[in-house]
Amino acid sequence: MAERLVTFEQDGAIGIVTLRRPEKFNALDIPMLRALETALDEAEMAEGVRVALIRGEGKGFCAGGDVEAWGEMSAADFQVQWVRYGHRVFDRLARLRQPTIAVLSGHALGGGLELAVACDFRVAETQVKLGFPETSIGVVPGWSGTQRAVRRFGAQIVRRMALGGEVFAAPDALALGIVDRVVETGQALAEARTWAEKIAGRGPLATEAAKLMIAVAEGEESAAATEALASGFVALTGDLKAGVSAFKAKQRPAFSRS
């Protein structure tokens, strides 16, 4: 069996999604995106996983999109296969029910930063650099990264990266709110695990609901999220049990608003 490009493993309440293309600094192409989507599905469905870590194998977190793969695509394929599918996968990450932490042991540039910004939190090692350099080769961030980044840490900072080409070192990124914690080289995974354990100790349903409500407030989610919260609440009520029991017995339900 061929080695998977992205893997999921569970360690107690923590799920770990690992990009495994170190020879390309975990640059993303279509097979990588497919593997990432599969790993995220596994994390979502894994029983007992309360926090998910996203990390890259080797020296890089994620070098962004694999530019060499673009030359093989027509304009139509680039739009449908690359941009739209990338949107779908990154949205899948942003909407994962569990809180997510990007573990930045290497640079997060272009699509790599978009991947990190789709997570709830970012832990970076001090040598890491972050930025949106896409305009230097005539493209723009295409996987909702600029939209999420503006909501997370402000339009002017994103302008400096996407228009001005600034690349921030981790300590500066911390001061600007681009990352949440900075640690010494080699310590990001351990720090993320410690943080994840603390989050995992909180009420899981309440944490998931809080994540969804924050997404609504940010504009990441809207009507669908409200519907999901309402449906989940109703599913816990005695009225639902009464309704199902009455349906099975072919009787009229006696609702109690409880």
Supply the DSSP string of 225-243, one letter for each residue. HHHHHHHHHHHTSHHHHHH
Q: Which residues pair with 182 in a beta bridge?
A: 124
Active site residues: 114, 134
Longest distance between any two alpha carbons in the chain, whole Å? 68
Tokens of residue 75, six digits: 């304009």
Q: Which residues pair with 7 in a beta bridge?
A: 18
For 142, phi and psi rounded to 5 degrees? -115, 5
**Helices and strands per DSSP (H, E), number in the chain:** 12, 9
3-state DSSP of 115-158:
HHHCCCEEEEECCCEEECCHHHHCCCCCCCHHHHHHHHHCHHHH
Q: Which residue, chain included where needed, has tokens 């593997």?
A: 35
Residue pair 117/152 in contact (Cβ under 8 Å)? The answer is yes
d(CA 219, CA 233): 22
Tell me the H-state helices in 61-103. Answer: 67-70, 75-77, 85-94
The closest alpha carbon to 125, from 88, 77, 173, 71, belongs to 173
Tokens of residue 209, six digits: 């609901």
